[in-house]
Amino acid sequence: MNSKHLLSVFCTLLVAMNGMTQPIPPGGPPFIITEIMYNPPEAGIDSLEFIELQNPSLTNARNLAGYAFVAGVEYAFPAGIIVQPREYVIIAIDSVAFENTFGIPAFQWTSGALNNNGETLLLENNLHDVIDSVVFDNTSPWPTEADGNGASLVLCVDSLENSGPENWTAAITNTGIVVGSTAILANPGAACSVGNSITEIRYDELVAFPNPNGGIFSLKLPKTWNTQNSILRIYDLSGKMVFTQQLYGQEKMTINLMGDLHSGTYLLSLTNKKNVLQQRFVIVE
């Protein structure tokens, strides 16, 4: 067990939460680094570098105020950032370029750039304790697909140790974004597919219709999709999961979100043990 986990198991970390302090439960850090795009396939200056954080708790919202990246890049999170259970937060080298490309909000770090040869990322809490650290590299056993070949590094199982390469993989989800002639494979603000066990399926194989819609729409799955133990999740553009439903054998289904979600763009993600389907859809009033 490394010092990071010893710290989280044997120490009580106090954070400000809605004006009060509350202990962080032992067993893991309150925030974890789950995705790194350190060398996007851009010519010249890399404007699409980003780091993703997640609140791994299933039940507890957590306050990110005062947390800071102090190695690799520098950025201190401002007050008022409450991260809901399983929600993601993105920081980027260029928040405008990131949002224009991915359609997802991001904070912009203050200084630094991610080293294409790898480096150490350190996240501290508001008491200056190291909460999470990743020492990534661009050579094996780290996935080399992330070194300028279009993929980000992703930690798909957030309960696993993230400081070394064994639990990281190259992203396989095609965002539909092409830079130069290279497709961007990444999952910013959303759950990812589990590395080598996943067969990528294109966005257009999950059909939501009508699209746009008023909150009621149907889903059509490919005939080859195994719906046994499938889970449908819907995320907003901040990466927050706003809907989830277990599926049992359906090939077609109707989803009614009227009154539950505001107008806007959302991401559908349908997963089973070996595959993932994703599709964006729009709700209009």
Q: Would you list the domain boundaries of the chain?
A: 3-196, 201-283
Residue 3 reports pLDDT greater than 70: no
Say what the pLDDT of residue 28 is. 63
Looking at the domain 201-283, which fold is it? Immunoglobulin-like (2.60.40)
C-beta atoms surrounding 243 within 10 Å: 15
Structure tokens at 271: 């997963």
Residue 94, pLDDT above cutoff 80: yes
| Over residues 263-280, mean pLDDT | 75
pLDDT of amino acid 220: 83
Q: What is the largest CA-CA distance in the chain?
A: 53
Domains 3-196 and 201-283 fall in the same CATH topology: yes
Give the pLDDT band of residue 87 (cuts 50, 70, 90).
very high
3-state helix, strand, coil in the chain (%, to 5): 10, 40, 50
pLDDT digits (tens, 9 = 90+) for 171-223: 988 888 888 788 899 999 988 765 444 444 444 577 889 989 999 999 888 77
Check pLDDT > 70 for residue 27: no
Domain 3-196 has CATH 2.60.40.1260: yes
Instruction: Give residue 160's pLDDT.
Output: 76
pLDDT for res 78: 95
pLDDT at 122: 94
Cα distance between residue 67 and residue 55, in whole Å: 13
Band of the pLDDT at 82, cuts 50, 70, 90? very high
Q: How many CA atoms lie within 13 A of 103 on its CB side?
A: 15
pLDDT of the residue at 15: 33
Contact 241, 233 (CB under 8 A): yes
- What residues have CB less than 8 Å from 77, skipping those under 6 apart? 64, 65, 66, 67, 68, 89, 107
Q: What's the rounded mean pLDDT across residues 243-264?
A: 80
Query: Which residue reads 């595959």 in tokens?
Result: 275
Could you tell me which of 267, 83, 142 has the C-alpha nearest to residue 192? 267
State the pLDDT at residue 244.
79
CB 281 within 8 A of CB 212: yes
Predicted local distance difference test score (pLDDT) of residue 238 = 53
Tens digit of pLDDT for each residue in 10-23? 333 333 333 333 34
Whether the pLDDT of residue 95 is over 50: the answer is: yes
pLDDT for res 229 = 63
Residue 169 has pLDDT above 80, yes or no: yes
Mean pLDDT of 265-272: 77
The residues pairing with 37 across neighbouring beta strands, listed in sequence order, are 50
* pLDDT at residue 249 in the model: 61
- Count Cβ atoms below 10 Å from residue 20 Cβ, excluding itself: 9
> Higher model confidence: residue 66 or residue 242?
66
Q: Report which of 182, 179, 114, 124 is spatially closest to residue 153, judged by C-alpha positions.
A: 114
